[in-house]
Amino acid sequence: MKSIAPILTVLAAMVALWYAAVAPMNIRVALDSAERAGETVTPATPLARQEVSVWRLMAQNPGQIAEGYALDRPRLPTPAQVGQELWKTTGDMALDGRAFSKRSLIYHGWITLKSTFWGFLLGTAVGLAGAVAIVYWRVVDMSLMPWAIISQTVPIVALAPMIIVLSSQIGIEGRDLPKAIISAYLCYFPVLVGMVKGLRSPTASQLDLLETYNASGAQAFWKLRLPASIPYLFTSLKIGIAAALVGTIVGELPTGAISGLGARILIGDQFGTPLAIWAALFAAAILAGGLVTLLDLLQRMTLRRMGMGAGA
C-alpha cells in the first residue's frame, strides 16, 4: 500500500509526457488538414514543411497546435482520445445491447481470450508433463532439456504463418487450433522450468523421511513433491499466461485474420485508423493485466489454504 503514491506519481508523469509529445508528433498532420481547410499556414506547402523541424513549425503556427489534439487520424492520439475510442467500442456498445457485435472490442477480446485460454491449457499440460518426465527420467532430462531451451530461442513468429498454412492444408477449419499451438509454444517453457525447479525443491532429508515411512513413489509425488512445487507453479503460470496472450496476438497478426485483438491491430493498420490500433492495444493490456491479477489472487488463496501464505 505504501507504494500507491509513487506509482500514481509516475503514472501521472507518464500521461503528462504523453500529452506533451502529442503536439510535436501531430503538428505536421494538423498543418496539412488546416491547409486543406483553407487556413494560411507557414510554410504554405507540405513539401516545404518537410524541410522545417517540428519545433519551428510549432513556433510559426501556434494557432494550429491545439488542432493536433483533436485530429481524426493522428500520428499520436491523446490518452483521452484512446479512452473515448475504447469506451465507444466496449462500454457504449454494451449499453446499447450490442456487446458482441463484430465491431465491439468485447467480441474481439473474447475471441482472443478463448484462444489464449486453450493455448494456456495446452501449454501448461505439456509443461507439467515435461517437468514430471524430466524429474523422474534422467534420459529425458539429458536429451530434452537442452532442446526446450533452444526452442525458446527460436523466434516462433517466424513459424506462425507456417503453422497457420500447415493446419489449413491438413484441413483444420478456422484459426483456433493454430493460434492455440502458437500460444502454447510460448507458454509451456516457463511452466516447464518452474515445475522442474519446484518438483526438485524437496530436500534430501524430506525425501528420506518419506522413505522411512515406507512411502511409494506415487505417494512421494502426491504428498511431497507436488505440494512443495505449488508456489513455483503459480509463479510460472503468471508468466505463462502473459506469454500465451502474446502468442495468441502474434498468431492473429499475419495472413489475414478477421477476429481477435491482433486482427483489430492489423485491420487498423491497413485502413489507416490509428485510434482503432491504440484501442485494441489498450484492450490487450487490460486483458493481460486482468489475467495476471486473477492468477495472483488464486495464488494467494491457494497458498493461504495450504498454510504457505505470506504471513505464515
Q: Is 310 in the site for another protein (CB under 8 A)?
A: no
Cβ 67 to another protein shortest distance, Å: 19
Cβ 1 to another protein shortest distance, Å: 11
Among residue numbers 223 through 242, which ones bind another protein (CB under 8 A)? 238-239, 242
Cβ 44 to another protein shortest distance, Å: 25
Q: Is 143 in the site for another protein (CB under 8 A)?
A: yes
Yes or no: say if 108 and 263 are a contact pair by the CB < 8 Å rule: yes
> Which of 40, 50, 153, 205 touches another protein by CB under 8 A?
153
Q: Is 187 in the site for another protein (CB under 8 A)?
A: no
Among residue numbers 35 through 54, which ones bind another protein (CB under 8 A)? none
Give the nearer residue to another protein in terms of CB position, either 174 or 272: 272
Give the nearer residue to another protein in terms of CB position, either 122 or 283: 283
Of the chain, the end-to-end C-alpha distance in Å amounts to 20
How wide is the angle at C-alpha 106 spanned by C-alphas 105 and 111, nearest 5°?
95
Q: Is 75 in the site for another protein (CB under 8 A)?
A: yes
> Which of 17, 47, 62, 138 touches another protein by CB under 8 A?
138
Q: Is 3 in the site for another protein (CB under 8 A)?
A: yes
> Which of 292, 296, 303, 308 touches another protein by CB under 8 A?
292
Q: Is 173 in the site for another protein (CB under 8 A)?
A: no
Q: How many residues line the site for another protein (CB under 8 A)? A: 62
Give the nearer residue to another protein in terms of CB position, either 120 or 278: 278
Give the nearer residue to another protein in terms of CB position, either 21 or 306: 21
Q: Is 266 in the site for another protein (CB under 8 A)?
A: yes
Cβ 200 to another protein shortest distance, Å: 15
Judge residue 98's burial from the number of C-beta atoms within 10 Å of its C-beta, 0-12 exposed, 13-18 middle, 19 or more buried: middle
Residues that bind another protein (CB under 8 A): 2-3, 5-11, 14, 75, 138-139, 141-147, 149-150, 152-159, 161-162, 165-166, 169-170, 238-239, 242, 245-246, 249-250, 253-255, 261-262, 265-266, 268-269, 274, 277-278, 280-281, 284-285, 288-289, 292
